[in-house]
Amino acid sequence: VICGLEETTELEPDKLSGDNQQCPPLERPYKSRVLDHFPESVSWNPFDENAVGMLCLPRGLSFKTQRDSRQAKYHSFIITREDGSRCFGSALTFYEEVTNRSVLDTMQTLYVMHHANTA
Protein backbone atom coordinates (compact mmCIF):
# COMPACT_ATOMS: atom_id res chain seq x y z
CA VAL A 1 0.00 0.00 0.00
CA ILE A 2 1.18 3.51 -0.77
CA CYS A 3 -0.46 6.25 1.30
CA GLY A 4 0.20 9.94 1.07
CA LEU A 5 -0.80 13.23 -0.49
CA GLU A 6 -3.18 13.05 -3.42
CA GLU A 7 -2.17 16.22 -5.26
CA THR A 8 -5.41 16.42 -7.26
CA THR A 9 -7.52 16.93 -4.12
CA GLU A 10 -7.50 19.74 -1.59
CA LEU A 11 -5.80 19.44 1.77
CA GLU A 12 -8.27 18.24 4.40
CA PRO A 13 -7.66 18.40 8.13
CA ASP A 14 -7.42 14.95 9.70
CA LYS A 15 -10.41 15.19 12.03
CA LEU A 16 -9.58 11.87 13.70
CA SER A 17 -6.48 13.50 15.20
CA GLY A 18 -8.55 16.04 17.14
CA ASP A 19 -9.06 19.76 16.72
CA ASN A 20 -5.74 21.16 15.57
CA GLN A 21 -6.89 24.36 13.87
CA GLN A 22 -5.10 26.49 16.48
CA CYS A 23 -1.76 24.88 15.56
CA PRO A 24 0.46 26.33 12.86
CA PRO A 25 -0.31 24.73 9.46
CA LEU A 26 2.94 22.75 9.41
CA GLU A 27 2.05 21.17 12.77
CA ARG A 28 -1.47 20.12 11.76
CA PRO A 29 -2.29 16.60 10.61
CA TYR A 30 -3.95 16.27 7.21
CA LYS A 31 -5.99 13.45 5.76
CA SER A 32 -3.95 10.99 3.72
CA ARG A 33 -5.18 8.89 0.84
CA VAL A 34 -4.38 5.40 -0.36
CA LEU A 35 -2.58 6.13 -3.62
CA ASP A 36 -2.08 2.52 -4.71
CA HIS A 37 -2.15 -1.02 -3.40
CA PHE A 38 -1.14 -4.44 -4.63
CA PRO A 39 -2.72 -6.82 -5.28
CA GLU A 40 -5.76 -4.85 -6.41
CA SER A 41 -8.19 -7.39 -4.99
CA VAL A 42 -8.09 -10.63 -3.06
CA SER A 43 -11.42 -12.45 -2.77
CA TRP A 44 -10.80 -13.76 0.75
CA ASN A 45 -9.25 -10.50 2.01
CA PRO A 46 -11.37 -7.39 1.35
CA PHE A 47 -9.35 -4.18 1.28
CA ASP A 48 -10.42 -1.53 3.81
CA GLU A 49 -8.88 1.68 2.48
CA ASN A 50 -9.77 3.80 5.53
CA ALA A 51 -8.43 1.30 8.07
CA VAL A 52 -5.17 0.78 6.21
CA GLY A 53 -4.73 4.52 5.73
CA MET A 54 -5.19 5.16 9.45
CA LEU A 55 -2.77 2.38 10.36
CA CYS A 56 -0.09 3.56 7.93
CA LEU A 57 -0.33 7.22 9.01
CA PRO A 58 -1.99 7.12 12.45
CA ARG A 59 -1.23 10.79 13.13
CA GLY A 60 -2.29 11.89 9.68
CA LEU A 61 -0.25 13.31 6.85
CA SER A 62 2.34 15.86 7.96
CA PHE A 63 4.64 18.35 6.32
CA LYS A 64 8.21 19.23 7.26
CA THR A 65 10.54 22.07 6.33
CA GLN A 66 14.19 21.77 5.39
CA ARG A 67 15.07 22.64 9.00
CA ASP A 68 13.02 19.76 10.43
CA SER A 69 14.23 16.21 10.80
CA ARG A 70 12.90 14.24 7.86
CA GLN A 71 14.37 10.92 8.86
CA ALA A 72 12.37 7.90 7.69
CA LYS A 73 10.31 6.12 10.37
CA TYR A 74 9.11 2.53 10.58
CA HIS A 75 6.30 0.96 12.59
CA SER A 76 4.34 -2.28 12.49
CA PHE A 77 0.66 -2.99 13.12
CA ILE A 78 -1.82 -5.85 13.35
CA ILE A 79 -5.38 -5.90 12.04
CA THR A 80 -7.49 -8.39 14.01
CA ARG A 81 -10.69 -9.35 12.25
CA GLU A 82 -14.02 -10.30 13.80
CA ASP A 83 -13.22 -14.00 13.38
CA GLY A 84 -9.92 -13.59 15.25
CA SER A 85 -7.71 -13.88 12.18
CA ARG A 86 -4.88 -11.41 11.92
CA CYS A 87 -3.17 -9.45 9.18
CA PHE A 88 0.27 -8.14 9.95
CA GLY A 89 1.53 -4.98 8.34
CA SER A 90 4.35 -2.49 8.53
CA ALA A 91 4.74 1.09 7.41
CA LEU A 92 7.78 3.03 6.29
CA THR A 93 7.13 6.77 6.44
CA PHE A 94 9.38 9.11 4.49
CA TYR A 95 9.13 12.67 3.23
CA GLU A 96 9.37 13.99 -0.31
CA GLU A 97 9.71 17.56 -1.52
CA VAL A 98 6.37 19.14 -2.38
CA THR A 99 6.54 20.73 -5.81
CA ASN A 100 2.81 20.98 -6.55
CA ARG A 101 1.99 24.70 -6.88
CA SER A 102 -1.55 24.27 -5.56
CA VAL A 103 -0.37 22.54 -2.38
CA LEU A 104 2.36 25.13 -1.81
CA ASP A 105 -0.13 27.99 -2.31
CA THR A 106 -2.59 26.36 0.09
CA MET A 107 0.08 25.97 2.78
CA GLN A 108 1.14 29.60 2.32
CA THR A 109 -2.48 30.78 2.61
CA LEU A 110 -3.00 28.69 5.75
CA TYR A 111 0.19 30.13 7.24
CA VAL A 112 -0.86 33.73 6.51
CA MET A 113 -4.34 33.11 7.99
CA HIS A 114 -2.86 31.47 11.09
CA HIS A 115 -0.35 34.29 11.57
CA ALA A 116 -3.12 36.92 11.21
CA ASN A 117 -5.29 35.12 13.79
CA THR A 118 -2.48 34.81 16.35
CA ALA A 119 -1.01 38.31 15.94
- Number of domains present in the structure of the chain: 1
Quote the domain boundaries for residue 6.
2-118
pLDDT digits (tens, 9 = 90+) for 51-73: 888 899 988 899 988 888 889 99
Name the strand (E) or helix (H) holding 91: strand 86-93
Distance, in Å, from the CA atom of 25 to the CA atom of 28, rounded to the nearest integer, reads: 5
Q: Is the peptide bond before 58 cis (omega within 30 degrees of 0)?
A: no
Say if pTM beats, i.e. exceeds, 0.85.
Answer: no
The more confidently predicted of residues 100 and 17 is 100
Tell me which long-range contacts 74-77 makes (C-beta under 8 A, separation of at least 24). none
CB 62 within 8 A of CB 96: no
Q: Which candidate, 70, 65, 68, 61, places its Cα nearest to that of 34?
A: 61
Q: Which candidate, 97, 93, 96, places its Cα nearest to that of 3?
A: 93
pLDDT digits (tens, 9 = 90+) for 26-47: 889 999 999 988 888 788 777 8
